[in-house]
Amino acid sequence: MAKIAFLGLGQMGAPMAARLLDADHEVTVWNRTREKAEPLGRRGARIASAPDESIAGADVAITMLSDPDAVERVVFGHGGLAAALEPRQTLIEMSTIGPDAVRSIAERLPDGVEMVDAPVRGSVQQAADGSLIILVGASDTAFERVRPILESLGTIHRVGDLGAGAAMKLVANSTIGATMAAFGEALALGEALGLDRSVLLDVLSETPIGTTVKGKRANVESGSYPANFKLALALKDMRLVADAAQRAGRTLRVANGTARLVRDRGRRGRGRARLLRRRRHDRATLKPFARDGSAIVSGASTSRRAATPTTAEGGSVERRPHRATLCTPGT
């Protein structure tokens, strides 16, 4: 079995590292916040305090991080992997960062260190049960070296040399957002036209978006949509698609429209979060007051209306009514 350093224990990274432990690999884990590493430590993983410490004695290092900047910091930042990597070790980059970032990293690695890009398709459940789709870009020798490790995580598709895996992931991602948006709009139209939801789902499952419909049908029917992926990461992925297309001289109008949809949804989510924080603040502020408007102080009550507050100079302070914002479903 291989000795593996696994860096990045987010929603996807943690179950992937657990799969490697279950396959009897010797795993050292690192995460920016140590608390996320501790459950794996209790299962037998060694916990490293820094990226450069994690690679000591390992055959390969796997990075599964949020974006290109995070990978850059972990590999080349203070205490980063690059300073500790040695000849014959291999870096497997499994994040979604695009082919340009992959090639840039590979060019700066120490001599004798080979890189493989292997981003994945699938979500948390697939990471946990080992059914991810792994898109690998690697040389022949590097691919054969890492294949036994990647087989523990899912189905492998070698799609070309270094950078091809990252490029293929962007191509795949360019379709996912559009397909999900089309499914949502089809549901909205069908329900607006009075169609039975079950029949609607049956028919949509036989259309070109059928795979998406079948994968999300249980969520639609139950009305339960557990978070499997952050909107910020989805927007990052769509931006990578748009940037790659622009550099290649292509305009992807559907993908760009999907990116705008994701961005607008993120803004609405942040707006709701601000509103909820405001409401919590208001409740905390109003808690000391009884329903009749009197202030409760050490068991006694004093009317808020009894006196007009004054400034230090003795002038009166005008009271203004509190303005409330109402949030209704769908806004």
Q: Would you please indicate which residues are annotated as catalytic (active-site) residues?
A: 169
Residue 291 carries which side chain, given as an amino acid letter? Answer: R
H/E element, 294: strand 294-297
CA atoms within 13 A on the CB side of 136: 27
Q: Do 61 and 81 touch, CB atoms closer than 8 A?
A: yes
Q: Do 8 and 65 touch, CB atoms closer than 8 A?
A: yes
Long-range contacts of 117-120, Cβ-Cβ distance < 8 Å, separation of 24 or more: 117/92, 117/93, 117/162, 117/163, 117/164, 117/165, 117/166, 118/92, 118/93, 118/94, 118/146, 118/150, 118/165, 119/93, 119/94, 119/95, 119/165, 119/166, 119/169, 120/12, 120/94, 120/153, 120/154, 120/169
- CA angle, 174 then 180 then 183, to 5°: 135
Residue whose C-alpha is closest to residue 147's, from 160, 130, 134: 134
DSSP 8-state class, residue 83: G
Q: Do 81 and 56 touch, CB atoms closer than 8 A?
A: no
H/E element, 132: strand 132-137
DSSP 8-state class, residue 195: -
Q: Do 249 and 220 touch, CB atoms closer than 8 A?
A: no
Two structure tokens written together for 249: 């001289």
